[in-house]
Amino acid sequence: MTRFNTQLVHGLPIDDNITGAVNPPIYNSSTYAFESVDAMPRYDYARSGNPTREFLERQIAQLEHGTRGFAFASGLAAIHAVLSVFSAGDRIVVGRNIYGGTYSLFNEFFSRWGLTVEAADTHDPEALRAAVAGDRENGISPAQAVYFETITNPLLDVNDVREISSIAHEYGALSIVDNTFVTPYLQQPLDLGADVVIHSATKYLAGHSEVNAGLVVVSRDDLAEKVYFAQNRLGGVLAPVECDAVRRGIQTLALRMDRQQENAAAVARYLLAHPLVKVVHYPGLPGHDVTGLSSAEALAAKGLKGGGGVLSFEVIPGVDPSVILDNLNVFRLAVSLGAVESLAELPCRMTHFELPREERLKVGITDELIRLSIGIEDKSDLIEDLGQALDKAYGAFISTHAEADVLGQLSAGVFA
């Protein structure tokens, strides 16, 4: 059996041709010829199956140690397909801090079709257990699923997949995990008890900001049948050229993530020491999630091999985060994450604008929060770029508070 890094490069052959091509072909065909009327061909119509897509689907299932994989036209299309297996009246418990697009899908789309959504603190086992259990005396049946992110977006809290899945299973609920931020390189949630793993493959798996894609991997054949039905009937499949782009990205996943994590740790340490920064959120920092443990110990305690390449930080009140973002040169002001180039964004105005402000503030997404997706550039260039942008923000801060003893008040913690 091959090891993970070899699986990234080679995947699993699907025995589709005898040309000896090193790379699997891109099959741009919408339909396939039958040998006869009575034939049951492996492929008949591209929505139902395509050799290029099958290669990618088999590869992600192999990497996530799942029964079967599925490729979709975007991360949200993948989530949509998974949620479509539930029925009106079913109740889903959702981690209270999730991506804005997922929040919208739950609360503005599926709620219209009778799916009940309840937010819960996935870091509080008893609160989660109570939410999943429901309250039969008051007509609230146990939940059918728990949906959460391995590392939350954008506050980078680490969820314990094993613990959450165990609680879900106590009540017969599915454990559905968005594993986008860490990929199977850093964690394989199915091995920890999850039933379904979802990826926005647009991010780390493809890795080059050139394709939208979503992937799903399931642990059981019965779930595979349901997700395939949704994939085939709803039709949100990933096209062959895009499948190949994700496959090529996967080949260098480990190399990219190693550099991204190294850079992210360096940037996080720099920001942690900066006087204009109030707090830094990054799982690779000692004590980020479990006080008293080293970063490696804290992550390993929750089944992770690394902290990934995304971090966020809050500037002190009075400092305008838009001044920082508008003056970055190496970082690009853009949503998304996981690509070779570094990106910066303001969650309250960009990735999480769908959340009402009061909801954002409840989960800690303040107006001063900046999210960074760290790429593979030289880490010194990234730090220098942030430094000059922070200098400009400090200049604007001084100008705004020209009459105050700014340095003295900063020292006294007035603006902290």
Q: How far is it, in rounded angstroms, from Cα 328 to Cα 93?
A: 39
Catalytic residues: 47, 99, 178, 203
Report the 3 state secondary structure along the chain: CCCHHHHHHHCCCCCCCCCCCCCCCCCCCCECCCCCCCCCCCCCECCCCCHHHHHHHHHHHHHCCCCEEEEECCHHHHHHHHHCCCCCCCEEEEECCCCHHHHHHHHHHHHHHCCEEEEECCCCHHHHHHHHHCEHHHCECCCCEEEEECECCCCCCECCHHHHHHHHHHCCCEEEEECCCCHHHHCCHHHHCCCEEEEECCCCCCCCCCCCCEEEEECCHHHHHHHHHHHHHHCCECCHHHHHHHHHHHHCHHHHHHHHHHHHHHHHHHHHCCCCEEEEECCCCCCCCCCCCCHHHHHHCCCCCCCCCEEEEEECCCCCHHHHHHCCCCCEECCCCCCCCCEEECCCCCCCCCCCHHHHHHCCCCCCEEEEECCCCCHHHHHHHHHHHHHHHHHHHHHHCCCCCHHHHHHHCCCC
φ, ψ (nearest 5 deg) of residue 401: -110, 40
Q: How far is it, in rounded angstroms, from Cα 240 to Cα 51?
A: 8
Checking DSSP bridges between strand 174-178 and strand 145-149, what pairing results, if any? parallel
Is residue 130 a contact partner of residue 140, using CB atoms and an 8 Å limit?
no
Q: How far is it, in rounded angstroms, from Cα 361 to Cα 7?
A: 42
